[in-house]
Amino acid sequence: MGTPDFAVPALTALSKADVRLSLVVTQPDRPKGRGRKLVAPPVKTAAMELGVPVEQPEEVRSDAFYQMMAGYRPDFLVVVAYGHILPKRILELPLYGAINVHASLLPRYRGPAPIQWAIINGERETGVTTMLMDAGLDTGEILLTSKTAIDPADTAGSLHDRLAQMGGDLLRQTIEAMKAGTLRPIPQNHAEASHAPLLKKSDGRVDWSEPAAVIERKIRGLNPWPLAHTYFGDKRLNIFKAELRPADTDAAPGTVIPGFSGELRVAAGEGALSIIEIQGASGKRLAIRDFLSGNPVAEYSRLK
């Protein structure tokens, strides 16, 4: 059971493991783009390529869905970013349990946005966890974990892709160990838990009064969605990449610091940021020199 790109490596790993993959459950096709055409979830596309039957229920709490699932008499239920909270009776169907692949080192960063918040909060390390699902939100017993360092250049996008591959590998190891009877689930220490709440578009608004280091982490953690953004007058500017710079100025936060030709260096609450890649009204992601050649920003201007 999974929906977005993050779940595809787990599905691929299952298809190569010593198991019989009998069903894939994913969310319904959704309208996307300007034409609002129905688009299949990435997991559905991958399942069809593998020749595995697919179900796309609108409602996971219905009796019809429960009866359909019960008819498979599953040994395992694997859930990876499915997008619905599953009722207890579904979780209790599989003989060996419902396994979840979560993109953090639990109990840290429970919730829907663990990758983004790990970068935003300046963590140096994260990883993936397999756990036995229970009725709580990412609170089940831990099966296996795998760790990776967070590189100073990592964005949520690059870390997402790395953790997705790690999740597939860890899932395969987890299934093999459970079949062999060598796994001993470990209860989470709930006192050490932290939450990774869902991000909104409004969370991308840059607060220039914050330290430059904090803003820079947000820019990486919010890339590719919802994207960090600021305003120059009434024009929205999406920021894809920025680098820390010294700020020998007493200019107010958000002020474009003078004296740096071809650069957009902005004062923050502490230090400064040089914006490296940006997107303006044209919709094109541009290196800052290319952007400024067609969209000059005067020295001492204010970004808000």
Domain boundaries, the chain: 5-192, 201-294
Res. 244: pLDDT tops 80: yes
Q: Which CATH architecture has domain 201-294?
A: Roll (3.10)
Task: Say what the pTM is.
Answer: 0.95
Query: Strand, helix or coil at 132?
Result: strand
Query: Strand, helix or coil at 14?
Result: helix
* CATH fold match for the domains 5-192 and 201-294: no
At residue 147 the predicted structure's pLDDT band, cuts being 50, 70 and 90, is very high
Give the pLDDT confidence score for residue 199 in this predicted structure. Answer: 97
Burial class (CB in 10 A: 0-12, 13-18, 19+), 168: buried
The matching CATH number, chosen from 3.20.20.70, 3.40.50.2000, 3.40.50.170, 3.40.30.160, for 5-192 is: 3.40.50.170
At residue 122 the predicted structure's pLDDT band, cuts being 50, 70 and 90, is very high
- Pair 138, 102: CB distance under 8 Å: yes
Q: Write out pLDDT tens, residues 46-81.
A: 999 999 999 999 999 999 999 999 999 999 999 999
pLDDT (mean) for 241-266: 94
Res. 21: pLDDT tops 90: yes
Tokens matching residue 76: 């395992």
Q: How far is CA 242 from CA 50, 89, 155, 158, 274, in A?
A: 41, 48, 11, 16, 5
